[in-house]
């Protein structure tokens, strides 16, 4: 009699982001969600890509310590305006200030991903940079947009998957969901490497 097939490892998304939860659900894999509880303060002189990569790995490791048998996904996104990190605005006035600084500029959204499994010792990470060129928005456009969509929980103060697409001139990416918060092409690649069958 052949040995029974091993049960697949549980999958945990180490994030409280509703955007990442929705994106991961597209893969039709059962998963749990756990808050990573990681300090997201940038280190002195830390560039945006390094900050995003460090935080994605820290989130995955923090959750993996609580779920050692699971394959854990951590992710983080930092908007990079000429080397300066821009985080989530948190409120209207901060979002207005961000969009005023970004208008007419190219911003690189550094979306980092990490996959960790303590039980197997698996650890891998990747980053998906997305270049976004904003239109030269006037103050009235910024105000109308923010009042309509209130994207105060999004790095860069806009949702490309919603009305925020009207603020943009161009998006350049090799992983189309990266701008929303989780690069699914890279996620599939790392999950397969960790032993999860996708699809």
76 given a catalytic annotation: yes
User: What is the Cα gyration radius of the chain?
Assistant: 18
DSSP per-residue string spanning the chain: -PPPPPPPPPEEE----HHHHHHHHTT----EE-------PPPTT--HHHHHHHHHHHHHHHHHHHSTTSEEEEEEEEEEETTEEE----SHHHHHHHHHHHTTSEEEEEEEEEEEETTTTEEEEEEEEEEEEEP---HHHHHHHHHHH--TTSTTS--TTTGGGGGEEEEE-SSTTGGGT--HHHHHHHHHHTT----
pLDDT tens digits, one per residue of 35-74: 999 998 989 999 999 999 999 999 999 999 999 999 999 9
- Of the residues 76, 80, 126, 175, only one is catalytic, namely 76
Whether residue 73 contacts residue 11, with contact meaning beta carbons closer than 8 Å, is answered with yes
Give the pLDDT band of residue 8 (cuts 50, 70, 90): confident
How large is the greatest C-alpha to C-alpha distance in the chain, in angstroms?
Answer: 72
Domains of the chain, first to last? 11-193 (3.90.950.10)
Bridge-partner residues for 172, per DSSP? 131
pTM score of the predicted model: 0.89
- Of 1-15, 41-55, 81-95, 181-195, the poorest mean pLDDT is in 1-15
């Amino acid at each position: 009699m052949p040995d029974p097939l091993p049960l697949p490892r549980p999958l945990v998304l180490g994030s409280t982001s509703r955007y990442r939860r929705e994106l991961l659900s597209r893969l039709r894999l059962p998963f749990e969600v756990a808050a990573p509880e990681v300090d997201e303060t940038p280190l002195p002189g830390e560039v945006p890509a390094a900050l995003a990569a460090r935080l994605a790995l820290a989130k995955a490791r923090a959750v993996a310590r609580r779920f050692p048998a699971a394959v854990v996904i951590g992710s983080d996104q930092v908007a990079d305006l000429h080397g300066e990190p821009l985080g989530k605005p948190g409120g209207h006035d901060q979002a207005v200030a961000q969009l005023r600084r970004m208008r007419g500029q190219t911003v690189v959204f550094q979306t980092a991903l990490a996959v960790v499994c303590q039980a197997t010792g698996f650890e891998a990470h990747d980053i998906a940079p997305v270049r976004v060129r904003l239109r030269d928005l006037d103050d009235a456009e910024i105000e109308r947009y923010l009042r309509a969509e209130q994207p105060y929980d999004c790095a860069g103060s806009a949702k490309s998957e919603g009305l925020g697409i009207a603020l943009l001139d161009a998006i350049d990416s090799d992983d189309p969901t990266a701008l929303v918060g989780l690069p699914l092409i890279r996620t599939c690649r790392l999950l397969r490497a960790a032993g999860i069958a996708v699809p």
